[in-house]
Chain A
Amino acid sequence: MANILAVDDSASMRSMVAFTLRGAGHDVDEADNGRNALDQAGGKKYDLVLADVNMPVMDGISMVREMRTMAGYSGVPILMLTTESDVNKKMEGKAAGATGWLVKPFDPDQLLATVARVLG
């Protein structure tokens, strides 16, 4: 099973993601903004990072850009959690180095299907 880092400033969203993935047998750590996510990723190797776009302190796109420069993270899947109204954000995320995205709102099944797609 995979080590996953869930990054979102919304505690309810974060716990939904973490709870769902833990239920599927993954180890999940949480971070509430991009800066803290980078700190955590520096201390532990994750197999997958799921990150919200809009966050205080450091947003998800800046986080991806920096994470791609970190040792061991050049090819790790990073998925942006974005909304349908953020069409540009998907592209910005990709340009920054994100692997793909998961469109909000998503339900636990969609989350698991998308995670299976990158870990498969």
Chain B
Amino acid sequence: MSKVDLAQFHKAFHEESLDGLDAMEQALLALDEGAEDPELINVVFRAAHSIKGGAATFGFADVAAFTHVAENLMDEVRSGRRPMEKAVVELLLRSGDIIRDMLSLQMAGQPGASAESQALLAELSAMVAGGSAVPAAAAKAAAPAEAIEGWDIAFRPFDYLLKTGNDPARMFRELQGMGPLSVSTDASALPPLASMDPTASYLAYTLGLAAGAKRAAVEGVFDWVDGDCDLTITPRVAAPAPAPAAAAPAAPAAPRAVREVATNSEASSVRVGIEKIDTLINLVGELVITQSMLSQFHDGVQDAQLEMLRQGLAQLARHTRELQESVMSIRMLPISTVFNRFPRLVRDLAQKLDKKVVLDLRGETTELDKTVLEKIGDPLVHLVRNAIDHGLEVPAKRQAAGKGDTGTLRMEAFHRGGSIVVEVADDGAGLNRDAIVAKAIQRGIIASGDGMTDDQVAELIFEAGFSTAAATTDLSGRGVGMDVVRRNVMDLGGTVGITSKYGQGTTFTITLPLTLAIIDGLTAAVGEETYIVPLVSIVESVQVKAENVRSVVGGGELFRFRDEWLPIVRLFDVFGCSGPRRAVDEGIVIVVEGEGTRIGLFVDELIGQQQAVVKSLEANYRRVTGISGATILADGSVALITDIAGLVRLQGRRKAA
């Protein structure tokens, strides 16, 4: 026995099967829309075929059995025995879902065939021609038991046999393993040496095996050369019995031309454990710190002899930056990994609601941090559900509004500045301002809609407990509102905005940071401590004159920024810093924006701009309101990174209190 533990390959099998199922689903959806590329059918077949093979190899019998039937159905389509009709697509789509579920259960250690899978298996089997899909191999009748003492074998290889990689000497050794073997050679066909082809075989052999080996074993030695030789295998039977020679059976079917398929749609990739990458990112972060430590040192040294060191440092800085960028890119994956699930979702929803929807996916190659990608799926699903359920109208209503039958849902990802923007836009009915205002008043969110801009009204749907659907439907009313979407996106350091035109459609705009592991920040001194304010949140930094500040009841301060009065949040007070507390005109106010609200952060002075490698505070201490993490500064001290959204919420609570 070899000591290979197959369990070590289960994870890889599971992952590649999920990839295969995704590819299969995409191909099926494309076929459903009338695509006629035969390679699409091959993709579906290959996915099913690979999963079946792997499942059988790695011991997942249920998955193998189920996939086998789906593969047979697919094979009928591939070989042209069955058209790729809607019903087939539907059945195969559902099969993909079932296989996905079965695999997950297997991986969770709870294998088993659910009632759902059994029912679908029955449907599949019924569709596959001839009912039973089991290959006819079992039809081979069991040979009657023979009292065999040995075997006589006449074996004449055709001249090309050696070129197939088969070697008579090796086959004889195999036979020898079963018992004493006699070999006599007939060299009568050997040509003169001059005309001999050294790669051809000219000899014929008469073999005698003096052992009662099983017929299958003896025939098995020659199974690969069936058709490449004249072969007669005769048993030596104890009692005289009419046992005819079992010669080579029927000639092989004429080989069909095999079409070569060139496709580059399957992206090649390397799977790397995320923890390894995190370690790398951390190490590179340390390197960045070392580099800035050294550069501080060089700033203070005037000696001309250190010019070399200076150059070296410049190089280190450049290389460090490049290394960091390339390591960061390992974490990045194209957003297509998330977008891919939407064609199916949109198709199913549209069908269920009798709506016609075209999904327009754009910018699928835009790359996002893996962590961000994993968490952006749910909010996007919610936005898409909402758009189809509430945004896009049924065909009759669209016609009445002078639009085409078919609504368009656009999902687009692109870079803007240092962020990634994902838009979900529909050309449906748009938000009804009056209905929203009425609902918001009813829910006690606002007192009146007078004086609110359309955008401000639209923003109301993000308030907790708000739902625009008059009747909660099966699709959207799952207890998850837009407030949860906004919170999920904010947890990723992003923002959600909405623009809507009544009668013309709604666009949701999600803005996300490129990565969560590193931020660009402004360092600021507060008392004896240093804080980092994320650059993305900063609107402007200003010095405030005492006469532009007003105190309000309850101890708060407001200052005039352009046309608005903004609250001043003193980080010194919020975080209970030690050291001298400065007066408002002795420091700097950093105007920041979070959750659509602006506040002024009061700090003693600005130190500079730098990249900060975010280290978790929760992992080492505990969660602190207003702080999103910590980082190590060039001098080795720790600076806290401010969480602007958290500070805005904190300010809001103080105001309310």
Q: How far is the CA of A74 from the CA of B159 in the complex (A)?
A: 13
Residues in chain A near residue B52, CB distance under 8 A: 83
Contact of A120 among B10, B13, B174 (CB under 8 A): B174
Residues in chain A near residue B260, CB distance under 8 A: 58-59, 62
A13–B174 CB distance below 8 A: no
CB distance from B374 to the nearest CB of A (A): 21
Residues in chain A near residue B137, CB distance under 8 A: 84
Contact of B135 among A9, A84, A98, A112 (CB under 8 A): A84
Contact of A91 among B49, B255, B268 (CB under 8 A): B255
CB distance from B230 to the nearest CB of A (A): 16
Q: How far is the CA of A105 from the CA of B199 in the complex (A)?
A: 34
Minimum CB distance partner of B162 in chain A: A75
Contact of A24 among B2, B46, B58, B252 (CB under 8 A): B2
Whether A15 is near chain B, meaning CB under 8 Å from some CB there, is yes
Number of A residues whose C-beta is below 8 Å from B? 51
B255–A95 CB distance below 8 A: yes
Minimum CB distance partner of A99 in chain B: B165
Minimum CB distance partner of B75 in chain A: A85
Residues in chain B near residue A74, CB distance under 8 A: 163, 199
Number of B residues whose C-beta is below 8 Å from A? 57
Contact of A109 among B1, B165, B224 (CB under 8 A): B1
**Do A15 and B258 contact each other (CB < 8 Å), given the known contacts A57-B263, A94-B224, A109-B1?**
no
Q: How far is the CA of A96 from the CA of B524 in the complex (A)?
A: 72
User: Chain B 155-180 against A: per-residue CB contact (8 Å), 1 yes, 0 no?
Assistant: 00000001111110010011000000
Residues in chain B near residue A58, CB distance under 8 A: 260-262
Q: How far is the CA of A85 from the CA of B128 in the complex (A)?
A: 15
User: Which residues of chain B from 238 to 272 have any CB-CB distance to chain A below 8 Å in the complex?
Assistant: 252-253, 255-256, 258, 260-264, 266, 268, 271
**Do A91 and B165 contact each other (CB < 8 Å), given the known contacts A13-B54, A56-B261?**
no
Minimum CB distance partner of B270 in chain A: A11
Whether B56 is near chain A, meaning CB under 8 Å from some CB there, is yes
Q: How far is the CA of A60 from the CA of B252 in the complex (A)?
A: 19
A91–B252 CB distance below 8 A: yes
> In the complex, how many residue pairs between chain A and chain B have their CB atoms under 8 Å apart?
143
User: Chain A 42-83 against B: per-residue CB contact (8 Å), 1 yes, 0 no?
Assistant: 000000000000111111011000001000001111100001
User: Chain B 44-61 against A: per-residue CB contact (8 Å), 1 yes, 0 no?
Assistant: 011001101110111000
Minimum CB distance partner of A104 in chain B: B53
A100–B223 CB distance below 8 A: yes
Contact of A75 among B53, B135, B163, B228 (CB under 8 A): B163
Whether B227 is near chain A, meaning CB under 8 Å from some CB there, is yes
A23–B4 CB distance below 8 A: yes
CB distance from B24 to the nearest CB of A (A): 13
Contact of A20 among B4, B173, B255 (CB under 8 A): B4
The residue among B54, B64, B264 with the most chain A CB atoms within 10 A of its own CB is B54
Whether B6 is near chain A, meaning CB under 8 Å from some CB there, is yes
Minimum CB distance partner of B53 in chain A: A104
**Do A62 and B258 contact each other (CB < 8 Å), given the known contacts A75-B163, A75-B199, A104-B56?**
yes
Whether B445 is near chain A, meaning CB under 8 Å from some CB there, is no
Contact of A92 among B49, B135, B162, B255 (CB under 8 A): B255
Whether B12 is near chain A, meaning CB under 8 Å from some CB there, is yes
Contact of B166 among A11, A91, A100, A107 (CB under 8 A): A100
Residues in chain B near residue A92, CB distance under 8 A: 255-256, 258
CB distance from A19 to the nearest CB of B (A): 6
CB distance from A102 to the nearest CB of B (A): 10
Contact of B164 among A94, A104, A117 (CB under 8 A): A94
A106–B57 CB distance below 8 A: yes
User: Which residues of chain A from 1 to 59 have any CB-CB distance to chain B below 8 Å in the complex?
Assistant: 9-13, 15-16, 19-20, 23-24, 32, 54-59
Could you show 5 A-B contacts with beta carbons less than 8 Å apart? Answer: A16-B9, A57-B266, A59-B260, A91-B227, A98-B164
What is the interface of chain A, defined by CB distance below 8 A to chain B? Answer: 9-13, 15-16, 19-20, 23-24, 32, 54-59, 61-62, 68, 74-78, 83-85, 87-88, 91-92, 94-101, 104-109, 112, 117-118, 120
- A-B pairs, top 4 by smallest CB distance, nearest first, are A99-B165, A100-B224, A105-B56, A12-B13
